[in-house]
Amino acid sequence: MTPPSTPPRWSKWLKNAQDLWSTVVTQEEVNDRRERKDTYDTLAAFLAQHLQQPPASCVSAVLELVGENDPVLRKDCAPASESLLAQARQLLLKVSVRYLRDEDRRGWREIEIYFLKDKQPARSISREERAWEAMPSDVRSDMLRDGGSLVSFKLYPLS
């Protein structure tokens, strides 16, 4: 006995639903990747300023330091020099990223960088407003699931 086939109108509807889901998933990936790139660019600008190095070289160093393996983000990035990586490791103590939101669903991303300045620990904070939809999908999920207004993680060092 042959199983019944899907009626043509349902086949078209199913195909459209699959296409729509594929678009939604792809857009989430694009948004998440854009947010990571923006975070890395902020850290690279910090390194470029403090190490007097070209920003493009510092982007490569950041990707190495944080263990980023996404081929899209690494595209067109030459490997960072060992000298630059060593300088960055001497400068940076810790980098953390926090996502916050308030009751009005306004959000912020804070990048907190602990580093050595004149052989003493110092701190720099970059705070930027973020639309709810621009926050990484895993951050939004954590906030909704846990009912919290803060998600944080350590970006560097990896261990």
Q: What pLDDT is recorded for position 102? A: 85
Q: What pLDDT is recorded for position 94? A: 97
Write out residues in the chain with pLDDT < 70, as ranges.
1-25
Q: What pLDDT is recorded for position 15? A: 64
* Residue 33 burial class via C-beta count within 10 angstroms: exposed 0-12, middle 13-18, buried 19 and up: middle
